[in-house]
Chains A and B, each alone.
Chain A
Amino acid sequence: MKATIHITLKNGVLDPQGKAIENALGSLGFGGVDEVRQGKLIEVRLDETDADKARATLTDMCEKLLANTVIENYDIHLSEA
């Protein structure tokens, strides 16, 4: 089972890198960009075949290591691939 975990900054947490990218897009002539937020994508392959058990394990991984929940949200996507 394959998991794709998106880790993003919580709303209200300043994202200086996203802001810099937003400014760079503007200077390249891309108009109409309201906001850019930068995050992380982590892929994990698991032996587990039960989706519920996999999700529980991945949630535990996110809480303990993959995300810092003071400033970050995480979103887990599971697929059979």
Chain B
Amino acid sequence: MQAAVIVFPGSNCDRDVAVCLEAATGQAPLMAWHGDANLPKCDLIVLPGGFSYGDYLRCGAMAANSPILREVVAQAHKGAAVLGICNGFQVLTECGLLPGVLMQNKGLNFVCRNTQLTIANNKTAFTSLYGAGEEITIPVAHNEGNYFADDDTLKQLQDEDRIALTYAKGDNPNGACLDIAGISDTSGRIVGMMPHPERRAEAALGGDDGKRMFTGVVEMLS
């Protein structure tokens, strides 16, 4: 299977994600540059964390309009699994693959710490190896992670079981609506999440709760 990591100017988690993907697939992923107008056919595409284009205008807004994103959107519509982590989640909302928006944290501070998460839906492409309702620990590191959508959209996400991850009660670091840490599209193949699974994907990093995000999707696609 072919996996790719999209690299924007300002991405800073691309190589960490590549390590996780290589561990899961046995081969190094394709690293695709933001200016590339062509992307070989991929089964799995990851938009990594960072500060694409310096967060100019709005987080993810410039990346969402970059040449490579047209390819990512086209392949997503054709069935590729797509994971957006942190800034990658912001890009997915800005390009319209996922609804809502990530606003500035309610407390106005950049938050960098472990969070307790609940697997709200273990039927997405990336959460299939977790138990429904399982509690895991994965760190966040963001200034704009406050998920917001209008009430109709939030209800739709609930009704369609598209809230993939929530912050555990009392551990919402950013004021996100419904404690949302990650959501999916209707198919469950496209997931955006603020926490960084690649930062807790092996014992040497303090835990490996994030690892199954990558091994799960690879298992599903293989």
Contacts and interface: CB of A to CB of B under 8 A. Distances in A.
Interface stretch (B102-110, B182-190, B213-221): B102-110
Could you tell me the dominant secondary structure of chain A's interface residues?
helix
A71 to B, nearest CB: 5
Contacts of B93: 70
A66 B104 contact: no
Interface stretch (B20-28, B57-65, B73-81, B203-211): B57-65
Contact of B148 (A64, A65, A66, A71): A71
A1 interface: no
B108 A68 contact: no
B100 interface: yes
Interface in A22-81: 64-66, 68, 70-71
Most chain-A Cβ atoms within 10 A of its Cβ — which of B57, B61, B99, B149?
A: B57
B134 interface: no
A71 B94 CA distance: 12
A68 B108 CA distance: 20
B150 interface: yes
Could you tell me the dominant secondary structure of chain B's interface residues?
loop
A17 B101 contact: no
How many interface residues does chain B have, given as a range?
Answer: 10 to 19
Contacts of B150: 70
Given A70-B100, A70-B148, A65 B106 contact: no
Contact of A71 (B61, B65, B101, B107): B101
A49 to B, nearest CB: 27
Contacts of B106: 14, 16
Interface of B: 57-58, 61, 65, 93-94, 99-101, 103-108, 148-150, 175
Which 10 pairs across A and B sit closest by C-beta, in order of nearness? A70-B101, A16-B108, A71-B101, A68-B101, A16-B106, A68-B58, A20-B108, A16-B104, A65-B65, A71-B148
12 contacts: A14-B103, A16-B106, A16-B175, A17-B108, A66-B57, A68-B58, A68-B94, A70-B101, A70-B148, A70-B150, A71-B101, A71-B103
